[in-house]
Amino acid sequence: MATQAQQDGYVECSDCGHPLEYSHNTRGCETCRGDGGVNCPTRWTKAQIRAVRRREGLPAAYFIGSGR
């Protein structure tokens, strides 16, 4: 059975629900900050995002433009 991340093609942040690959970096969640809300405190490096993608059974590499 596929995990939710495998079905979606991305990993959601457990704090704010936005995709780690597209929104999060070492400053927090860009989407939360852009929405004018409280910035999600969860910070991720690219290496950490690749590692969590591997753990979820997704390819380590992700491409923002392709949705994968």
Q: How does pLDDT run across 16-68, given as a tens digit for each residue?
A: 888 888 888 898 888 888 766 667 888 899 999 999 999 989 898 887 654 44
44 within a domain of the structure (yes/no): yes
5 within a domain of the structure (yes/no): no
Residues spanned by the domain of 27: 11-62
- Greatest alpha-carbon pair distance for the chain in Å reads 37
Domains contained in the chain, number: 1
Amino acid found at 10: Y
16 within a domain of the structure (yes/no): yes
**How far is 45 from 18, CA to CA, in rounded Å?**
15
Residue 3: per-residue pLDDT: 75
Residue 66: per-residue pLDDT: 45
4 within a domain of the structure (yes/no): no
18 within a domain of the structure (yes/no): yes
29 within a domain of the structure (yes/no): yes
Query: What is the value of pTM for the model shown?
Result: 0.77
